């Protein structure tokens, strides 16, 4: 682990990529037109700019975020300074046929074409990382692997991998021993990856990109049982669906239990990000930010010390090692 002049720490993205990333990155799902309710392009661009100035180098997007709009915004932000960004994108969900349970990307040629379309939106000639965005059960998995290998051979991607919380799906992607990265949901509320997946990645030198470190806002400590979400926000179901509401209230109770563990002046989000960064298998963590204020708060957590053994033990008392629930699967 190294520290740059900004105070942000940097780590290798696994042992095979040759890529070094800020261990606090930026996830770019929550843009205008996505499933997070109303958004603002200027605010999203501000979030990217603030993150970059704070020492963040890793930016993660996907072809389906805002139907490509997230990639376009990142492309605008990178104009004239591509070398300052480590760019990851994902492919697979766009055009997914849920009834047939398969992606429209069913040939190597379609994978290559899809990634080339992402490159056009990003206004770049290569991706640093490409990932399969389908978490498991995709019958075309081998097509993705072959397509990613070809893209790497062509120099259009530097590293490839998969976004999944399913251990066997990860093992399938790494059957040839050349899967470079894994993106996975991991947080205080979802410690399931600690059971098998994170040890496997450490053993095989696979770089781990953590999404959902704030559990879709739950670990930002800004929700209560009375909270309501705007139309178009997928979290509406947390309130309106009976089963999901039961889990939502249980999660809020865990958040209540975490508050006494915070240092003076520390936010819940900072503590949650310190927790995820503390796992030795993790390369980078990608909380989302919808504006510069959120980006500033995230970056501060990326410069804070890792959790102590005592703090980790306290977390264990609320959510045991390997426990919790998966917040978002893919």
Residues with catalytic function? 65
Q: Collapsing DSSP states into helix, strand and coil, what is residue 260?
A: helix
**Placement of tokens 């509401």 in the chain:** 245
- DSSP state letter for 150: H
**Residue 310 token pair:** 């005592």
CB atoms within 10 A of CB 280: 10
- Sign of the alpha-carbon torsion through 257, 263, 270, 203: negative
In 3D space, the residue among 194, 241, 205, 238 whose CA is nearest the CA of residue 327 turns out to be 238
- Sign of the alpha-carbon torsion through 315, 317, 323, 324: negative
- Contact predicate 35/233, CB 8 Å: yes
Sequence-separated (6 or more) residues with CB below 8 Å from residue 201: 14, 170, 182, 207, 208, 281
Q: H-helix or E-strand containing 250?
A: helix 242-258
Rg (CA), the chain: 19
C-alpha to C-alpha distance for 119 and 166, rounded to whole angstroms: 28
C-alpha to C-alpha distance for 247 and 313, rounded to whole angstroms: 24
- Measured in degrees and rounded to the nearest 5, phi and psi for residue 180 equal -85, -40
- Contact predicate 268/258, CB 8 Å: yes
- DSSP state letter for 233: B
């Amino acid at each position: 682990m190294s520290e740059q002049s900004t105070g942000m720490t940097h780590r290798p993205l696994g042992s095979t990529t040759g890529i070094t990333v800020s261990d606090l990155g930026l996830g770019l799902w929550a843009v205008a037109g996505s499933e997070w309710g109303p958004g603002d392009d200027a605010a999203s661009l501000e979030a990217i700019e603030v993150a970059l100035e704070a020492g963040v180098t890793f930016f993660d997007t996907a072809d389906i975020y805002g139907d490509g709009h997230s990639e376009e915004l990142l492309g605008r932000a990178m104009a004239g300074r591509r070398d300052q960004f480590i760019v990851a994108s994902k492919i697979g969900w766009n055009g997914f046929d849920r009834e047939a349970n398969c992606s429209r990307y069913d040939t190597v040629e379609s994978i290559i074409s899809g990634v080339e379309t992402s490159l056009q939106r990003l206004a770049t000639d290569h991706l640093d990382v490409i990932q399969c965005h389908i978490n498991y059960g995709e019958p075309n998995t081998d097509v993705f692997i072959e397509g990613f290998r070809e893209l790497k051979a062509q120099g259009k991607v530097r590293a490839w991998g998969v976004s999944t919380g399913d251990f066997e799906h990860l093992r399938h992607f790494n059957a040839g021993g050349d899967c470079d990265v894994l993106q996975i949901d991991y947080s205080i509320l979802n410690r399931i990856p600690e059971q098998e997946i994170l040890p496997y990645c450490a053993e095989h030198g696979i770089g781990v990109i953590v999404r959902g470190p704030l559990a879709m806002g739950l670990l930002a400590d800004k929700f209560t049982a009375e909270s309501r979400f705007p139309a178009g926000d997928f979290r509406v179901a947390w309130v309106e669906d009976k089963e999901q509401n039961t889990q939502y209230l249980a999660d809020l109770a865990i958040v209540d239990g975490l508050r006494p563990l915070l240092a003076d002046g520390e936010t819940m989000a900072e503590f949650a990000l310190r927790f995820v960064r503390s796992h030795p298998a993790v390369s980078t963590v990608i909380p989302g930010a919808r504006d510069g204020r959120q980006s500033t708060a995230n970056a501060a957590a990326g410069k804070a010390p890792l959790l102590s053994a005592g703090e980790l033990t306290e977390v264990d008392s609320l959510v045991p090692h390997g426990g919790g629930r998966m917040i978002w699967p893919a």
